[in-house]
Amino acid sequence: MDISIFILIITFIVLLFTNVPISISIALATLATMLVSIDSIPSMTTMAQRMAGGINGFALLAIPFFILSGILMGQGGIAKRLIEFAKSLLGSLPGGLALVNIISSTLFGAISGSAVAATSAIGGFMIPAMKKEGYDSAFSAAVSATASTTGLLIPPSNILIVYSLASGGVSIASLFIAGYIPGLLVALSLMIVCAIYAKINNYPIGERSSIGNIIRTGFDALPALFLIFIVIGGILTGVFTATEAGVIAVLYSLLLSVGIYREVKVNQLMSILIKSAETTAVVMLLIAASSAMSWILSYTDIPQDLSALILSLSDNPLMILLMINIILLLVGTFMDITPAVLIFTPIFLPIAESIGISPLQFGIMMILNLCIGLCTPPVGSVLFVACGIAKNSIQQIVKPVIPMYAAMIAVLALVAGVPAISEWLPSVFGL
């Protein structure tokens, strides 16, 4: 391993900790490494080529469509309908409002494909409601932050599409189906923790809903939930590809938000399109910069050197798997999930395959691992959103969030150790 790795790491860390946007930090660190690794003039050309090539993929067309669909859903009155439905089902259980928060965040995260959007939409309503009913403010924020990440495992999920690109072509359909069981296990584990926590702290229990109210709220939320079945059903039956599913999701979200729920007005569509374009630009810049970094990593044999180093430390597959997960947990605390997937997949996937982990299982394990980082300081984006809504500091939220971390890590251990959790459903559908 030569000086290239040190230049890459030091430049990236210095830029990151001087508040340079992460996509720019990745691009500049990559360029600096290229300048010392290859001739200066070709390095500039190579940088441009690799960035352009990184976003020149048909599968990536799904991302802007799912982003637009998520924004339409987010502003289309979906959140309150999901909350009311979940409340009618779970509100009378111990920690009922916390359970409602988890179910609503999971469903909304799956529909919108964004953990931050789920935290803002569901947490913006549920955190004040939980505080009003006597729940601790920090606990309410911790529930919203951790629960919102589950939607990234349940399709349609943009990060699963990004992993498909980074892994060299793992089927998007397989990844979509594989994420269901792990995502639901995370939600279930968080619900168990919250029920116990609520029982210990004597949080209030709501009134039992009537059958009529359950049916009414369920019927109201059904059109939004149907999006998930349309997308997955269409992909599994071969009616359309994952990219085409994004277009279907946009059309259905438009029909739902403008035509059925009528929460989005026609004169608001331009601002929604602009917002989705801005979000898409940020994501694509991250992908482009990370693709260039992945290329220079490969060019300088860094993945091979790191692989040899890790494999030299132990020949025990469990120890190697543990090391990979610990590194990813640390990475997730300071790096956003998209660049982390693009940068570390080419490094760790060959190691995982060498110890018998399939690319499908590794992808679900990696994304679940990095989801934990989204709600972990110092850079946990959803944690800061939840703290902002609850008006709590990070220090105040640490105590209630620790048992939730433990639950998520327990599920991560299951996903890493039991391949069937990720691979059984895709095999049932012949993927």
CA separation for the pair 185, 72 (Å, rounded): 28
**Residue whose entry in the numeric block shows the structure tokens 């569509």:** 269
Which pLDDT does position 186 carry in this prediction?
Answer: 93
**pLDDT for residue 363:** 93
Task: Answer for the pair 110, 151: CB distance below 8 angstroms, yes or no.
Answer: yes
The predicted pLDDT at position 182 comes to: 93
Whole-number Å distance between alpha carbons of 394 and 384: 8
Distance between start and end Cα atoms, the chain: 39
- Do the beta carbons of residue 121 and residue 138 sit within 8 Å? no
pLDDT, residue 359, reads 93
Confidence (pLDDT) at 39: 63
- The letter for the amino acid at 244 is E
CB-CB neighbours of 326 under 10 Å:
11
Query: What pLDDT, on the 0 to 100 scale, is given for residue 397?
Result: 83
pLDDT of residue 416: 92
Phi then psi dihedrals of residue 124, to 5 deg: -60, -25
State residue 407's pLDDT score: 93
For the whole model, what pTM was predicted? 0.81
Q: Are 188 and 103 in contact (CB under 8 A)?
A: no
d(CA 289, CA 16): 14
At 378 the pLDDT is: 64
* Contact predicate 20/28, CB 8 Å: yes
pLDDT tens, per residue, the chain with 431 residues = 567 778 888 888 888 788 788 788 888 888 888 888 776 557 778 888 888 887 887 777 877 887 788 778 777 777 777 777 877 877 677 777 788 888 888 877 766 666 777 777 777 777 887 887 788 888 888 888 888 888 888 877 778 888 988 887 788 889 988 988 999 999 999 999 988 888 888 877 767 777 887 888 888 888 877 877 787 778 777 787 777 887 888 888 888 888 888 888 888 889 888 988 888 888 788 788 878 887 887 777 777 777 777 878 878 888 999 999 998 888 887 777 888 888 888 889 988 988 889 999 999 999 999 988 888 776 667 777 788 878 877 778 888 889 999 999 999 999 998 999 999 999 888 76
Query: What pLDDT score was predicted for residue 406?
Result: 92
Collapsing DSSP states into helix, strand and coil, what is residue 52? Answer: helix
- The answer for residues whose C-beta is within 8 angstroms of residue 388's C-beta and 6 or more apart is none
Is residue 430 left, alpha or beta, with left meaning phi > 0 and alpha meaning psi from -120 to 50? left
Q: Which residues contact 117 (CB under 8 A, 6 or more apart)?
A: 70, 71, 74, 108, 109
Q: Which of 30, 70, 64 is closest to 47 using CA atoms?
A: 30
Q: Find out whether 4 and 34 touch, Cβ atoms under 8 Å.
A: no
What would you report as the CA-atom Rg of the chain, rounded to the nearest whole angstrom?
A: 22
Q: How many residues does the chain have?
A: 431
